[in-house]
């Protein structure tokens, strides 16, 4: 399972990278705005800055919603750095753009996916990644994990190459549950990754080991 961090915050990306388990980054226009990154030049520069911190794929989202404009924007993003994956929303022109990018060797992440049908369409269009938003489904009392399981079954039935990128992860149990289902990738906040680390018995056990060592080695 690949671990992506879902942020545009360079400090958090660096921290996750230093942990040694980071495989990539996802961003979206809201996350960029949260960091105060505005204006085309600043936005493009920020994507390059992220690529220079992390070893792995960096999703950069198009803000156009019409086919020709999406293609132009996506091609510009893809040229920024070899690690860039063009993030495309699951809308009619987005599906056409996914197919265009796939035919032209540009890797994509189909975002804002909320149903198995949308995920099937994204795979048919040749998306590299599909991003079902499980947290946002959970928020409206719909089972987000069930959607991940449905997509896993469909992709396995037909051996689609599209990777399931479980998105909108809110906490560590989402990560564990997605791993059990077989999501290829998860993207979430740094806290969802750090939560995997913690167990009180580890802390108690280490304290005892070190205390016993000190008794015989002082
Ligand atoms: C996916 O790539 C999105 O950036 C993200 O996971 C959305 O998460 P949210 O629902 O926490 O905003």
Kindly state whether residue 103 falls inside one of the protein's structural domains: yes
User: CA–CA separation, 172 vs 175, rounded Å?
Assistant: 5
Into how many domains does the chain fold? 1
Q: Residue 31's domain is classified under what CATH number?
A: 3.20.20.70
Kindly state whether residue 196 falls inside one of the protein's structural domains: no
User: CA–CA separation, 196 vs 144, rounded Å?
Assistant: 20
- Cβ–ligand 1 contact at 28 (below 6 Å): yes
Q: 110: which strand partners?
A: 88, 130
CB 22 within 8 A of CB 53: no
H/E segment holding residue 24? strand 24-26
Kindly state whether residue 106 falls inside one of the protein's structural domains: yes
Atom of ligand 1 nearest to the CA of 59: 2
- Cβ–ligand 1 contact at 160 (below 6 Å): no
* pLDDT computed for residue 218 by the predictor: 81
Kindly state whether residue 67 falls inside one of the protein's structural domains: yes
Distance of CA 131 from the midpoint of ligand 1 (Å): 9
* From 34, 128, 135, mutation site for ligand 1 pocket: most ligand atoms within 8 A of C-beta: 135
Query: Environment class of residue 213 by beta-carbon count within 10 Å: exposed (0-12), middle (13-18) or buried (19+)?
Result: exposed
* Cβ count near 126 (within 10 Å): 18
Tokens of 185: 């990738």
Kindly state whether residue 210 falls inside one of the protein's structural domains: no
User: CA–CA separation, 170 vs 6, rounded Å?
Assistant: 10
Per-residue tens of pLDDT for the chain, all 218 residues: 999 999 999 999 999 999 999 999 999 999 999 999 999 999 999 999 999 999 999 999 999 999 999 999 999 999 999 999 999 999 999 999 999 999 999 999 999 999 999 999 999 999 999 999 999 999 999 999 999 999 999 999 999 999 999 999 999 999 999 999 999 999 999 999 999 999 999 999 999 999 999 999 98
Q: Which of 90, 58, 88 is nearest to 73 (CA)?
A: 88
Q: Domain of residue 25: give its range.
A: 2-191
Nearest CA to ligand 1 atom 9: 168
Kindly state whether residue 215 falls inside one of the protein's structural domains: no
Atom of ligand 1 nearest to the CA of 135: 10
């Amino acid at each position: 399972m690949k671990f992506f961090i879902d942020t545009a915050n360079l400090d958090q990306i660096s921290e996750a990278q230093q942990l040694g388990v980071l495989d990539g980054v996802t961003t979206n226009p809201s996350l960029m705005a949260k960091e105060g990154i505005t204006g085309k030049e600043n936005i493009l520069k920020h994507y390059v800055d992220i690529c220079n911190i992390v070893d792995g794929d960096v999703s950069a989202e198009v803000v156009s919603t019409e086919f020709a404009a999406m293609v132009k924007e996506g091609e510009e993003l893809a040229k920024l750095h070899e690690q860039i994956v063009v993030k495309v929303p699951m809308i009619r022109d987005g599906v056409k753009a996914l197919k265009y990018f796939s035919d032209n060797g540009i890797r994509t992440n189909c975002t804002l996916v909320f149903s198995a049908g949308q995920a099937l369409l994204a795979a048919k269009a040749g998306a590299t990644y599909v991003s079902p938003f499980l947290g946002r489904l959970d928020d409206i009392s719909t089972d987000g994990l069930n959607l991940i399981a449905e997509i896993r079954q469909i992709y396995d039935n037909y051996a689609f190459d599209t990777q399931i990128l479980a998105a909108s992860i809110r906490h560590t149990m989402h990560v564990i549950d997605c791993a059990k289902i077989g999501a290829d990738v998860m993207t979430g906040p740094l806290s969802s990754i750090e939560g995997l680390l913690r167990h009180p018995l580890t802390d108690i056990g280490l304290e005892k080991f070190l205390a016993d060592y000190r008794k015989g080695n002082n």
